[in-house]
């Protein structure tokens, strides 16, 4: 069987804190490509820049790595329902795995601030979708309260199995590149992923598979940058709706990753995020979602500031697929050329 179809539980079972009797379920998550940058990395003077294409997971984001482990644990515990609050991708992933493995799935999302594709995913996979008048942080609070009194398994990243599954992305990067990069850049919202990567890299280093630890470079949107400001943000705002989060649940994990790795968590504004997204699509052939492009935007900021030196080996994690949120980029695209169905008109149209 191809490794791709094996999934993260079967591939990494000896390195996951998951009971051995938990079912080895999969939807083919993990084993995503690490693609070398041909244009942007060289233009920044980096020794190498790779993009980890997490948008190629089954539901189009990195969330599947942790969701498969959380759902396996829920099944093993005899649970019949899962629930999460979400800015979109967690809900899409929970709905897909919940549907496939026979769990009732409930997702709670911020009304009006979730990408259209993600909401459709949650619905098409059969989840009960509830929207609230409030941001992700409020949704998570409501869901946690409900879980205290109802027999439903919480599958947000406060569920430790989620972080366990997500750390496998760090294992794969070391596997593929032969060592840890010197810098790992990624977007930071609820901060589960930066926590998971740091754990994964530390385990690789401890076990001698990586000779070094990367500096962790986190990008937050400037309107939703609690970790940069050092305090929660009441009304987070950003075009990158996936990371529109004002009070990350894994706050301490993010701070530990930053400080222990001698890294940085910085903010990047929406214009820089959208510009990075556009260039990754235009020059690298990779369509990621806006939040994902915060990884490149923060890396570019760090290079410009001198915090990351030329000659560095870097990896940007592109966490989600751009197809989920086409509306975010549409306004910046060049117009479609409308012509009569005529070869001469076509020739004239493409001349310019």
* Token pair of 19 as six digits: 């009971």
- Tokens 């940007």 belong to residue: 316
Nearer to ligand AN7, 230 or 340 (CB): 230
Closest contact distance (angstroms) between CB of 88 and ligand AN7 is: 5
Alpha helices in the chain (DSSP H): 3-12, 40-44, 63-76, 89-100, 116-124, 136-147, 160-166, 168-177, 192-206, 226-229, 251-260, 270-284, 290-305, 327-330, 343-351
Provide the minimum distance between the beta carbon of 4 and ligand AN7 in the complex, in angstroms, as a whole number: 21
Closer to ligand AN7 by CB, 277 or 292: give it. Answer: 292
CB of 340 to ligand AN7, least distance (A): 41
Looking at the Cβ atoms of 37 and 321, the one nearer to ligand AN7 is: 321
Q: Which residues contact 132 (CB under 8 A, 6 or more apart)?
A: 108, 109, 110, 111, 138, 139, 142
Enumerate binding residues for ligand AN7 (CB under 6 A). Answer: 61, 63, 86-90, 187-193, 242-243, 289, 291-292, 319-320
Q: Minimum distance between the CB of residue 294 and ligand AN7, rounded to whole angstroms? A: 8
**Closer of 72 and 291 to ligand AN7 (Cβ):** 291
Choose among 89, 137, 139, 140: nearest CA to 115. Answer: 89
Q: Least CB distance from residue 85 to ligand AN7, whole Å?
A: 7
Q: How far apart are CA 56 and CA 320, in angstroms?
A: 8
Query: Shortest approach of ligand AN7 to residue 239 CB, angstroms?
Result: 13
> Which one, 193 or 261, has the nearer CB to ligand AN7?
193
Instruction: Tell me the C-alpha distance between 77 and 281, whole Å.
Output: 42
End-to-end CA distance of the chain: 50
Distance, CA of 233 to CA of 210 (rounded, Å): 37
> What's the distance, CA 132 to chain centroid?
23
Residue (37 or 193) nearer to ligand AN7, CB: 193
Identity of the residue, 211 or 235, whose beta carbon is nearer to ligand AN7 in the bound complex: 235
| Nearest 10 degrees: Cα torsion 61, 116, 219, 60 | 10
Q: Which residue is nearest to ligand AN7 (CB)?
A: 320
Min CB(160)–ligand AN7 separation in Å: 14
Q: Rounded to the nearest whole angstrom, what is the least distance from the CB of residue 319 to ligand AN7 in the complex?
A: 3
Residue 199 or 344: the one with the smaller Cβ distance to ligand AN7 is: 199
Work out the angle at residue 198's Cα, subtended by the Cα atoms of residues 19 and 248, and round it to the nearest 5 degrees. Answer: 90
Cα separation, 348 vs 351, whole angstroms: 5
* DSSP letter (8 states) at residue 308: S
| Nearer CB in complex with ligand AN7: 7/192 | 192
CB of 329 to ligand AN7, least distance (A): 14
């Amino acid at each position: 069987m191809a490794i791709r179809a094996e999934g993260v539980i079967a591939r990494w079972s000896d390195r996951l804190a998951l009971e051995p009797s938990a079912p080895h379920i999969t939807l083919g998550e993990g084993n995503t490509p690490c693609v070398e940058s041909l244009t942007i990395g060289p233009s920044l003077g980096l020794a190498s820049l790779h993009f980890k294409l997490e948008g190629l997971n089954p539901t189009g984001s990195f969330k599947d790595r942790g969701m498969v482990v959380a759902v396996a644990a829920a099944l093993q515990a005899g649970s019949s329902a899962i629930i999460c609050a979400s800015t979109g991708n967690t809900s899409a992933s929970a709905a897909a795995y919940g549907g496939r493995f026979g769990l009732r799935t409930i997702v709670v999302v911020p009304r009006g601030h979730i990408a259209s594709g993600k909401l459709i995913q949650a619905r098409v996979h059969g989840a009960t979708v509830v929207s609230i008048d409030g941001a992700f942080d409020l949704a998570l609070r409501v869901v946690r309260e409900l879980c205290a009194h109802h027999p439903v398994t919480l599958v947000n990243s406060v569920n430790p199995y989620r972080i366990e599954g997500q750390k496998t992305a760090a294992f794969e990067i070391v596997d593929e590149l032969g060592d840890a990069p010197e810098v790992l850049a990624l977007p930071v919202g609820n901060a589960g992923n930066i926590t998971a990567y740091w754990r994964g890299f530390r385990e690789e280093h401890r076990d001698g598979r990586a000779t070094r630890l990367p500096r962790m470079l986190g990008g937050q949107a400037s309107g939703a940058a609690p970790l940069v400001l050092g305090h929660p943000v009441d009304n987070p705002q950003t075009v990158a709706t996936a990371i529109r989060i004002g009070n990350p649940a894994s706050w301490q994990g993010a701070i530990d990753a930053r400080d222990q790795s001698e890294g940085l968590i910085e903010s990047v504004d929406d214009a820089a995020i959208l510009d990075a997204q556009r260039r990754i699509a235009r020059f690298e052939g990779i369509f990621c979602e806006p939040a994902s492009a915060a990884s490149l935007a923060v890396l570019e900021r760090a290079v410009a500031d001198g915090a990351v030196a030329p000659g560095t080996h870097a990896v940007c994690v592109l966490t989600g697929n751009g197809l989920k949120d086409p509306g975010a980029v549409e306004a910046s695209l060049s117009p479609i050329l409308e012509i009569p169905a005529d070869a001469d008109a076509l020739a004239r149209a493409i001349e310019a």
